[in-house]
Structure 1
Amino acid sequence: MTGTVLDYDPLTFAVIFAALALGGTMKGATGAGAPVIAIPVMAAFYDVRFAVVMMAIPGVVMNIMQLRKYHAAHLPDRFALKYAICGGTGTFLGTIILATLPVEALTLIIAGAVVAYILLRIARPGFKIPWEAARRLVWPVGLVSGVLQGSAGLSAPVSVSFLNALRIPREAFIVTISSLFTGMSLVQVPALIGFGLLTWDRALLSLAALIPLLGFMPVGNWLARRLPPVAFDRLVLVLLTILAVRLIWSALA
């Protein structure tokens, strides 16, 4: 970590609080997006490992909350459960990468995949992955998503892109992505502890991050209920665009 929590003035904490609040709003609206906003901001003041650890405990809490709220919207064939199991497996592998290896090259590869997907959606707005294909792809996509979550704290380039291409309703989107994130978080937290990255002081800071995140999730949910399905779909694409820019910037900086 490049600094400690005592190194910065209140303006630093205000910026981080605002990033967490915006992340909570995005999480409430789309079921994803909190790490996309919060991790790069915290990494700018501290480092990537610290930012990933900060979002570990909130990841468990927020996703379990959304699972309970939208559990009735589960997709058939235990799709979300398969997604979560593979995501958890990949997360353990990704945490090993986080603890031992740099991820710049992987980041650029994933950023390129996100950009390609966005361009595909622009060129072919009706692009959709058929359900039969999705049932086969859920295993490898979940695994890769977990590796990204464990190594960089961000699985959205793969996980969100995949679900967005299924063109499922918002409620089904949220419960499926929350299942994945829950499975990944339940593996990530003990793995971070085992590798010595999640210490007691960082765990307390991670718990404190829940205050703005949970406080602004209802704001995002309120906004989403007033958006038509097309607007929600565009909102997810905006999220992916922000994510792609962030990934490229962080890899080349």
Structure 2
Amino acid sequence: MTDTLFLDAVVTATFLLAGLVKGVIGLGLPTVAVGLLSLVMTPAQAAATLVVPSLVTNLWQLAAGPGLRPLIARLWTMMLGIAVGTWAGSGLLTGDGAGLAARALGAALLLYAATGLTSRRLAVPRRLEPWLSPAVGVATGLVTGATGVFVIPAVPYLQAMGMERDALVQALGLSFTVSTLALAGALYGNGALPWSTAAASALAVLPALAGMGAGQWLRGRISAHLFRLCFLWGLLALGGHLLLAGGGR
């Protein structure tokens, strides 16, 4: 009973924090949630708990953009690649190598944080998108399937495409929504998303939405740049711990 209450408290606090981060900077919910939950459960369990809050918050983000149809026309090959890559990479997350999956997650968090902390910004010429988009999608899917985190290399790539701010936020929402659905399908297909876990994931929507609302309120009252730096340094430390220790059980 005590262990159950402790785990429920950890899940609630994690999704409050993850929602807060997403509300302030527009992303980070899966990264924070899976990273922190992997300290007390396997990465597969953490990813399964993430599914419903991630889907709900990303659909909210997706619906708030300027125009979905042209975005899909531009990014559909990347979305297809994400789906294919997630299914191909899901064996590591849902198989027997939970420690290896935790270390892979740590490496992904370190890479994401290090990429975010560099001042260098990349630019992708429009003419290269037909070739790069499917490759980036498959790579993102492989990372998603192996770790439950779907920001590398999708986020740096989308940021390099030169979109307007609102279109970029919507593109991130589209990428995260497709990644969440693909991850949910892979987890369910591998028996790692039973109905009991799905129910617990649904309950995590409330703290995630509460945190997201608080983050949106906080966005106009603090420096988003400073908050983002603290977030990235925190991910760097968390990723290093998971990489070295292999996560918690």
TM-score by length of 1: 0.80
Structure 1 CA distance, aligned partners of 2:54 and 2:36? 17
Partner of 2:28: 33
1:201 aligns with 2:196: yes
Q: Which residue of 2 aligns with 1:86?
A: 81
Q: Is the 8 A contact 2:106 2:239 kept in 1?
A: yes
Q: Distance in 2 between matches of 1:62 and 1:154?
A: 15
Query: For 1:58 and 1:39, how far apart are their aligned partners in 2?
Result: 12
User: Which residue in the other structure is 1:95 paired with?
Assistant: 90
Note if contact 1:62-1:214 (Cα within 8 Å) is conserved in structure 2: yes
1:131 alignment counterpart: 125
2:72 matches 1:72: no
Q: Distance in 2 between matches of 1:37 and 1:44?
A: 11
Q: Does 2:169 align with 1:174?
A: yes
The amino acid across from 1:99 in the alignment is T
Map 1:1-253 → 2, pairs under 5 A: 6=1, 8=3, 10-72=5-67, 78-100=73-95, 101=97, 102-103=100-101, 106-107=104-105, 110=108, 113-114=111-112, 117-118=115-116, 120-121=118-119, 124=120, 127-132=121-126, 135=129, 136-166=131-161, 168-224=163-219, 232=224, 235-236=227-228, 238-253=230-245
* Shift in Å, 1:139: 2.0
**Structure 1 stretch displaced more, 132-141 or 70-79:** 70-79
> Aligned pair count?
241
Instruction: Assess if the C-alpha contact under 8 Å between 1:192 and 1:198 holds in 2.
Output: yes
Unaligned ranges ≥5, structure 2: none
TM-score by length of 2: 0.81
State the Cα RMSD in Å: 2.9
Q: Is the 8 A contact 1:156 1:240 kept in 2?
A: no
Deviation of 1:37 (Å): 1.8
Cα separation, partners in 2 of 1:166 and 1:48, compared to 1, 3 Å: same
How far 1:17 moved relative to its partner? Answer: 1.4
Find the residue that maps to 2:210 and give its secondary structure: helix
Task: Report the Cα distance in structure 1 between the residues aligned to 2:52 and 2:191, rounded to whole angstroms.
Answer: 15
CA distance in 2, matches of 1:204, 1:118: 34
Q: Quote the Cα distance in structure 2 between the aligned partners of 1:74 and 1:27.
A: 24
Listed as ranges, the gaps of 5+ residues in structure 1 are 1-5
- d(CA) in 2 for partners of 1:139 and 1:236? 29
Q: Greater CA deviation, 197-206 or 11-20? A: 11-20
Q: Are the aligned partners of 2:18 and 2:30 in contact in 1 as well (CA < 8 Å)?
A: yes
